[in-house]
Amino acid sequence: MFAPDLNLLVTLDALLSEGNVTRAAKRLHLSPSAMSRALARLRDTTGDPLLVRAGRGLVPTPRALELRAQVSQLVQEAQSVLRPAAAPDLQKTIRTFTLRTSEGFAENFGPDLIARTSSEAPGVRLRFVQKLDKDSAQLREGTVDLETGVVASAMGPEVRAQSLFRDRFVGVVRRGHFLSQGKITSEKYATAKHIGFSRQGLEMGPIDEAMSAIGLERAIAAIVGGFSTAVALARATDLVASVPERHTGNLRAGMHTFTLPFATPEFTVSLLWHPRFQADPAHQWLRNIVGSTCALRP
């Protein structure tokens, strides 16, 4: 099978553009003798002399004139493919990005994120899909552009991560609830009825583990799969919701929020993506937007 040396295209382009071996050699940072050898190879490959002597100079053959424009276009296209991607024109970019997040993240940070992207890139659309588990297969498959969450130890090494913010659990109740009055102790907290959170429907979570460590137990009246649902139920009932503080900032407006009266571990929320998008300029722009949006909102 014939496999031509594609590097010869660059040499041919220089020779046909300059019409002179010495100038073509200087253009490609080669010696005149190396360029002469390359011209000999080109003649063998194309079966045409390409450049022939006329007096003291060289003139192109009909075949060379026929190839000149095509070769120049091919070289320009190859150079375009191999150079780093240019910064996108955000005002003209038309693209949909899919973000897999918890409902609390979308509801709390989504409005500012949409406003920023709409202002800088009006043709960009954000598609939020709910994160129901920690399986990042959709990132690897390319059906999701970005994901937010706590980095799991079992996450594959092919997933990139960037810390967004630290978060902690706080308690939230409706205005007028007895926990909104006076000092809150661990015992007082335990006497209330609570909303549990679990995507798998489990009854024990980090709050219950922290209370168990000090010999207490809370009464769970309902278990939900989303923090925004927990906040909504707490707003309309006498139940207590214990939720991440920064994830639910907007959702808790008008309610009473308090620091939990016992120690619970803080956790880091990260932005996750697959390396296939690492160098994509538009994807880099969106990652920066997400990061700065989270940094600005308390």
Q: 205 and 154, same structural domain?
A: no
148 or 131, higher pLDDT:
148
Rounded CA separation 59/53 (Å): 6
| Cβ–Cβ under 8 Å, residues 274 and 159 | yes
pLDDT at 296 over 90: no
Write phi, then psi, for 144 (nearest 5 degrees): -125, 135
DSSP annotation of 247 reads G
CATH number at residue 120: 3.40.190.10
Count of domains forming the chain:
3
Q: What is the mean pLDDT of the chain?
A: 88
Share of the chain above pLDDT 90, in %: 49
**Residues 12 and 155 both lie in one domain:** no
Q: Is residue 87 part of a domain?
A: no
In a domain, 88, yes or no: no
Q: In residues, how long is the chain?
A: 298
**Do 154 and 290 share a structural domain?**
yes
Do residue 285 and residue 145 come from a single domain? yes
Tell whether 120 and 75 lie within a shared domain.
Answer: no
The pLDDT assigned to 1 comes to 47
What is the predicted pLDDT for the residue at 278? 87
- Give Rg (Cα) of the chain: 32
- Per-residue confidence band for 159, with pLDDT thresholds at 50, 70 and 90: confident
Look at residue 273 and tell me if it is in a domain.
no
Q: Is residue 90 part of a domain?
A: no
Structural domain boundaries enclosing 142 = 95-159+280-296
Average pLDDT score over residue span 238-264: 94
Strand-pair category, 95-101 with 146-149: parallel
Q: Is 101's pLDDT higher than 60?
A: yes
Rounded mean pLDDT, 200-227:
86
Do 246 and 284 have their domain in common?
Answer: no
Q: What is the DSSP string of 188-222?
A: HHHHSEEEEE-SS--S--HHHHHHHTTT--PEEEE
Domain co-membership, 131 together with 47: no
Assess if residue 182 is contained within a domain.
yes
Q: Poorest-confidence range of 12-16, 172-176, 269-273? A: 12-16
| Residues 45, 47: Cα–Cα separation, whole Å | 6
220 in the same domain as 246: yes
SS3 assignment, position 102: coil
In a domain, 272, yes or no: no
15 and 33 together in one domain: yes
Q: What percent of the chain has pLDDT over 70?
A: 93
Q: Which has more pLDDT, 127 or 103?
A: 127
Which amino acid makes up residue 136? S
| pTM of the entire predicted model | 0.69
- The answer to whether residues 18 and 72 belong to one domain is yes
* 270 lies in some domain: no
